[in-house]
Chains A and B, each alone.
Chain A
Amino acid sequence: MGRIKARITGSVKSFVEEHRPRTKVKRSAEDIFAGIESPRDEEGNEIMIQVRNLSKIFGRHPEEALALLEEGKTKEEVQNMTSNNVGLYDVSFDVRKGEIFVLMGLSGSGKSTLERCMNRLIEPTSGQVLIDGLDFTSLNEEDLRIARREKMSMVFQNFGLLPHRDVKNNVAYGLEMQGVPESKRLEKAAATIELVGLAGYENSMPSDLSGGMKQRVGLARALATNPDILFMDEAFSALDPLIRNDMQDELIKIQSELDKTVIFVTHDLNEALKLGDRIALMKDGRIVQVGTAEDILQDPADEYVGRFVREVDRTKILTASLFMRKPKSVLYVTQGPRTALRIMDDYDRNDMLVIDRRNHLVGMVESDDILKAVQSGDKDLSKIVMDIPSVGPDTPMSEVIQIMVTTDFPIPVIDGDGVLLGMVSPSVAAETLNIGGGE
C-alpha cells in the first residue's frame, strides 16, 4: 500500500512541478547576444555588421535566377530570361562600430533593398547578415523582434510619423514596444526630444510640424531606445537643401556624442561625401566600390564610379563649407577682458574668434594680449582684436589650405555680409584630406 501511495504522490508532485505557472523571465537582446564576441578586422576595429554574400531575388523562382547569376549572367539578362527581379546579388562588406557607413547609388541600384535586408524588413534570399558576430538572418521571429526593439532602429524617408500620436508619443513608440512603463518612457522621450532640439513641441501633432521638424522627431524616435545601430533610409532627401544641411550637421554632432553605428542610404553624392566615414557605391544590385570619400574621389574603382564622380567638379565639392565646424565658443567684442579669459580658460584655448552682436566676424584675440589688456584696464576687446584671413563657404579647400599654411590659427568662414558661419581647423582639414604630413 505504502509503495503505491508513494508512487501516486510522486507522480502528482511531478505533474504539479511540470504544470505550475512559472514566472516567465522576459527575454532580452542580452540573452540573444550572450556569449558572442564582437569580431574585429585586421586593423583591430570592432565590427558591428558583417554582410556575407547577401542576395535578394524578387519573384516566384529565386533559385532559378540565382543559378543564372552564378553562371555570370547580368541582372538585365536574368530579368529577361526569367520572371524574377534581381534586387541584390552576392553583396559582402563589413561595417565598423561607430562609423557612418553610406550606401549610395542611383534609384534601382538596390541600396534601399540592401538596407532592408540588413534589418530583415525584406527577407534576403540567400546569404548572411551578422550583427555583433551573431547570425541575424537565422533568428526566429520572437528573437528578431527583440533584437529590433533593443539593438537597432530606423529613420524613414517620408518620416513615418504616426499621424494619430503627438510628438512625445511618437518618440516613445520604440520604448512602448520594449514594455517601458508610460511615465518612464515619456521621461526618456522628453530627453531625446531635447537632444534633437525640439524641446517645447512634445505635445504637437505631426501635422503641425515642418518637414525638418518632422524628421527631427523621426530621428528622436530612432534614438530614444538607445540602439547600437541606426538605419537611415534617404532620411534627408525629402527636405529642402538648407534644412538638409542642418540635419546633416545635426547627425554628425549627435553621432559624435552618442557613437552609434549608422547605415545611411542616399542617392546624393555630396551627402555621401559629407556624412560617410566610408561609402559603398552600388550599381545593379552589387557593390562597385567601398572606401572613404577620398578613396572614391581619387581612385574610382571602375568606369561607372568614375563617371559618377566626374560629373561633380572636385574643387567644387571640396569647399570650405564641407569642412567647417561651428566653433565651440566665440567671444563678443563688447565683453570685458576678464570674462574673455574665463571663457577661454573654460574651453582650454589660447585663441578665440571675436564677433559683434550681429554675428559679424571682428577678428581674433590671443590670451597673452588679453592679459595685457587686463593690466592696462581696458573695458572691452576692441583694441586687441587682430585681423585674420577669412574665406567664404564656397572657397575651394585647395585655397583654404594655402592660407592655412601661412597662419597657425583656424580659418573662419564668413558669408557675403561678414556673418560668421563656422571655421576650418587645421586638424579637420588635414585628417579629411589625408595630408597627414602637415600635422
Chain B
Amino acid sequence: MASPIGSFAEELVDFIDYYFGWLLTLFSDILDQILDLVGSALTYLDPIVFIPILMIVSLLITKRLVMSLMIGAAFYTIYWMGYWNSAMATLNMVLVATLVAVVLAVPLGIWAADSEKANPVIKALMDFMQTMPAFVYLIPAVIFFGLGEVPGVVATVIFAMPPVVRLTNLGIRQVPPEMNEVADAFGSTGWQKLTKVQMPIAMPSIMAGINQCIMLSLSMVVIAAMIGGEGLGGDIVEALSEIDVAVGFEAGLAVVLIAMTLDRLTQSFKESRT
C-alpha cells in the first residue's frame, strides 16, 4: 500500500490523463510527426553515402581531419556490425529529444536567470527531475502516451533537460555586471540586452548544457527501450533477457561510438563559438 504521497501522485496522473488527455494526444501526434520526419531523413541515404557526408560535415565543424576520419570509422564499424538501422533509430530519438529539451529548457533557464522568484522554484523542479530515478518517468509516460517511441522521447526530455536549464541560468547570471551596464547605458531594450549581449556571452555555457543534454539523452533512450522504444536500446534489452553477451556488447559499443561522435561534434561547436 502506498502512503498518501503515493496516492496523490497516482491521482494527479489520473487527473491529468482524464482532463488533459486531448492535449497529450495532440502533443503525442506532433512528436510522432517530428520523429517520422527526422527518422526518414536519417534512413533516406544508404550508409555508403551517409558516412562520407557525415565525415565532410564533421570536418567542416571540427576542422580536424583525424577527428572526421575517426568519426567515419566509428559509423562504419556500427554499419559493419549490422546495427545501422538500430543506430539510426536511436540517433533519431536522441536528436528529437534534444531538440524538444532545448526548446523548452533555454527559455526556462532565461526565466530563472531573470526572476529571483522563479529561480528557486525552477531550481527545485530541476533537482527533482534530475534525481528522480529515470525508470520512474516511464510509468506516467506509458499512461499518457502508451507504448512506443513517443513516451520514450518524453521521458528522455524530462531526464535530459535540467543541465540545459541550469547552465543557461548560470551562463546568463555569470555575464559580467559591466556588460549589462553597457547594454543599459546604450539604451538597449530588455530583448536586445538578452539577444545581443547576454545570450552570446552565455553561449559557451549553454552549449556545454546542450552537450550534457545529448549525453543524458543517449543513456536514457536505452532505458526507454523498456517501454517499446526501438533502436540500440531495444537490442540491449533483448540481449539482457537472453543473456546474449555478443549482441549486448556490440549494441553497447554502438551506443558508445554514437555518444563519442556527438560529444566531439558539440564540443568543437562550443569551442568555435568562443
Knowing A156-B178, A158-B178, the reply to whether A164 touches B185 (Cβ < 8 A) is no
Q: Which A residue sits closest to B186, measured CB to CB? A: A174
Nearest B-chain residue to A225, judged by Cβ: B186
Residues from chain A with Cβ under 8 Å of B186 in the complex: 148-149, 153-154, 173-174, 177, 221, 225
| Contact status A162-B187, CB under 8 Å | no
Annotate B190-214 by CB proximity to A: 1 below 8 A, 0 otherwise: 0010001100110100000000000
Closest to A29 in B: B187
User: Within B37-61, which residues are at the interface with A (CB < 8 Å)?
Assistant: none
B182 CB contacts on chain A under 8 angstroms: 154, 156, 160, 162, 173
A160 contact from B181, B187, B188, B192, Cβ within 8 A: B181
Contacts of A116 in B (CB 8 A): 181
Contact B187 A148 (CB under 8 A): yes
**Complex Cα gap A3–B185 (Å):** 59
Tell whether A146 is near chain B: CB-to-CB under 8 Å: yes
Q: Is B189 an interface residue (CB 8 A)?
A: yes
**A221: B residues at CB distance < 8 A:** 186
B179 contacts the other chain (CB 8 A): yes
Q: A160-B179, A162-B179 are in contact. Are A153 and B185 (CB under 8 A)?
A: yes
Taking CB atoms, residues of chain B closer than 8 Å to A174 are: 186-187
The reply on B184 being an interface residue by CB < 8 A is yes
Asked if residues B201 and A145 are in contact (CB atoms below 8 Å), the reply is no
Q: How far is the CB of B186 from chain A (nearest CB, A)?
A: 5
Judge whether B200 and A162 touch: CB under 8 Å. Answer: yes
- For A164, give its contact among B178, B184, B189, B200 (CB under 8 Å): B200
Q: Mark B159-185, 1 if CB is under 8 A from A, else 0.
A: 000000000000000001011011011
For window 392-431 of chain A, which residues contact chain B by CB distance below 8 Å? none
Cα(A121)–Cα(B179), bound, Å: 12
Residues of chain B contacted by A145 (CB below 8 angstroms): 187-189
Question: Per a CB cutoff under 8 Å, which of B176, B185, B188, B200 touches A121?
Answer: B185
Within A134-154, which residues are at the interface with B (CB < 8 Å)?
144-150, 152-154
* Distance, CA A158 to CA B179, complexed state (A): 10
Q: B182: nearest residue on chain A (CB-CB)?
A: A160
Q: How far is the CA of A225 from the CA of B203 in the complex (A)?
A: 28
Task: Tell me which residues across on chain A come within 8 A of B176, comparing CB atoms.
Answer: 158
- Bitwise, A323-362 to B at CB < 8 A (1) or not (0) is 0000000000000000000000000000000000000000
Nearest CB on B from A283, distance (A)? 25
Contacts of B197 in A (CB 8 A): 162
Docked pose: A221 CA to B203 CA in angstroms: 23
Give how many B residues have a beta carbon under 8 Å from the other chain's beta carbons. Answer: 17
A101 CB–B CB distance under 8 Å: no
Range of interface residues on A (Cβ < 8 Å): 20 to 34
Pair B201/A231 contact, Cβ less than 8 Å: no
Q: CB distance B185 to A148 under 8 Å?
A: yes
Task: Write out the residue numbers on chain B whose beta carbons fall within 8 Å of the beta carbon of A146.
Answer: 187
Cα A156 to Cα B186 with chains together (Å): 12
Distance between Cα atoms of A116 and B177 in the complex (Å): 13
| Complex Cα–Cα for A400 and B178 (A) | 43
- Tell me the nearest residue of chain A to B184, going by C-beta: A121
Contact B201 A154 (CB under 8 A): no
Tell me if A163 counts as interface (CB < 8 A to partner B): yes
In the complex, which residues of chain A have a beta carbon less than 8 angstroms from the beta carbon of B189?
Answer: 145
Within the complex, what minimum Cβ distance (angstroms) separates A123 from chain B?
12
Q: Does A119 contact B (CB under 8 A)?
A: yes
CB distance from B183 to the nearest CB of A (A): 9
Give Cα A231 to B182, complex, Å.
12
B200 touches A177 (CB 8 A): no
Residues of B within 8 A of A225 (CB): 186
How far, in angstroms, from A157 to B181 measured CA to CA in the complex?
A: 12
Contacts of A163 on B, CB cut-off 8 Å?
A: 201
Which single residue of chain B is at the shortest CB-CB distance from A176? B196
Return the CB mask of A105-148 against B: 1 if under 8 Å, else 0.
00000000000100101000000000000000000000011111
* Docked pose: A174 CA to B187 CA in angstroms: 8
Task: Give the residue name and chain of the B residue nearest to A144 (CB).
Answer: B187
B178 to A: closest C-beta gap in Å: 5
- B200 & A154 in contact (Cβ 8 Å cutoff): no
In the complex, chain A residues whose CB is within 8 Å of the CB of B192: 177
Asked whether B203 lies within 8 Å of A164 as measured between CB atoms, the reply is yes
Q: Are A231 and B203 in contact (CB under 8 A)?
A: no
Q: Which of A220-259 contact B (CB under 8 A)?
A: 221, 225, 231
- Distance in Å: Cβ of B145 to nearest Cβ of chain A: 40
Q: Which of B178, B181, B185, B192 has the most CB of A within 10 A?
A: B185
- Chain B residues within an 8 Å CB radius of A157: 178
Given A160-B178, A160-B179, A162-B179; A177-B201 close (CB under 8 Å): no
Minimum CB distance partner of A231 in chain B: B185
Q: Are B201 and A162 in contact (CB under 8 A)?
A: yes
Give Cα A173–Cα B184 distance, bound, in whole angstroms. Answer: 12
Residues of B within 8 A of A177 (CB): 186-188, 192
Instruction: Collect the chain A residues with CB atoms within 8 Å of residue B196's CB.
Output: 162, 173, 176
- Which residues of A approach B to under 8 Å, CB–CB? 116, 119, 121, 144-150, 152-154, 156-158, 160, 162-164, 173-174, 176-178, 221, 225, 231
Query: What are 22 A-to-B residue pairs whose CB atoms are below 8 Å?
Result: A119-B185, A144-B187, A145-B187, A145-B188, A148-B184, A149-B187, A154-B182, A154-B186, A156-B178, A156-B182, A158-B176, A158-B178, A160-B181, A162-B179, A162-B182, A162-B196, A162-B200, A162-B201, A163-B201, A173-B186, A176-B196, A231-B185
Please report B residues at the A interface, Cβ cutoff 8 Å. Answer: 176, 178-179, 181-182, 184-189, 192, 196-197, 200-201, 203
Given contacts A162-B197, A176-B196, 16 further A-B contacts (CB under 8 A): A116-B181, A145-B187, A147-B187, A148-B186, A148-B187, A149-B186, A149-B187, A150-B187, A154-B182, A158-B176, A162-B196, A162-B201, A163-B201, A164-B203, A177-B192, A221-B186
Instruction: List 9 tightest A-B contacts by C-beta distance, closest first.
Output: A149-B187, A148-B187, A154-B185, A164-B200, A145-B187, A160-B182, A174-B186, A160-B178, A177-B187
